[in-house]
Amino acid sequence: MEEIYNKMKTTNEQMDEQIGNMRSFKSFIDKHGLKGTFSTLLIMFVAACIGFFVLNPGVVFEKFQEYNIEKHEEGIKQRLEADPHIRVLLADFRTSVNADRAYILEAHNGGTNLNNLPFLYADLTYMDPRNRYDYIESEYKNFRLSRYPWASYVIEHGYWFGSIEDCMESDPELYYRLKNEDVAYMGMFVMHGKNGLPTACLGVIFKTNEDGITPTSRDVIKQMQIYASQINVYLMGN
How does DSSP assign 29-66, residue by residue? HHHHHHHHHHHHHHHHHHHHHHHHHHH-HHHHHHHHHH
Nearest-CA neighbor of 198 among 105, 135, 88? 105
Nearest-CA neighbor of 224 among 207, 206, 202, 205? 202
pTM of the model: 0.66
Mapping DSSP to helix (H, G, I), strand (E, B) and coil, where does residue 111 land? strand
Give the angle subtended at the CA of 232 by the CAs of 85 and 90, to the nearest 5°.
Answer: 45
Check residue 95 and give its pLDDT: 95
| Average pLDDT per 10 consecutive residues for the chain, totaling 238 residues | 48 54 53 59 63 59 60 68 92 95 86 58 88 64 81 91 92 90 93 88 87 82 96 85
Check residue 229 and give its pLDDT: 95
Cα separation, 224 vs 203, in Å, equals: 8
Taking only the tens place, the pLDDT of each residue in 107-141 is 877 665 545 556 678 888 899 998 865 556 566 77
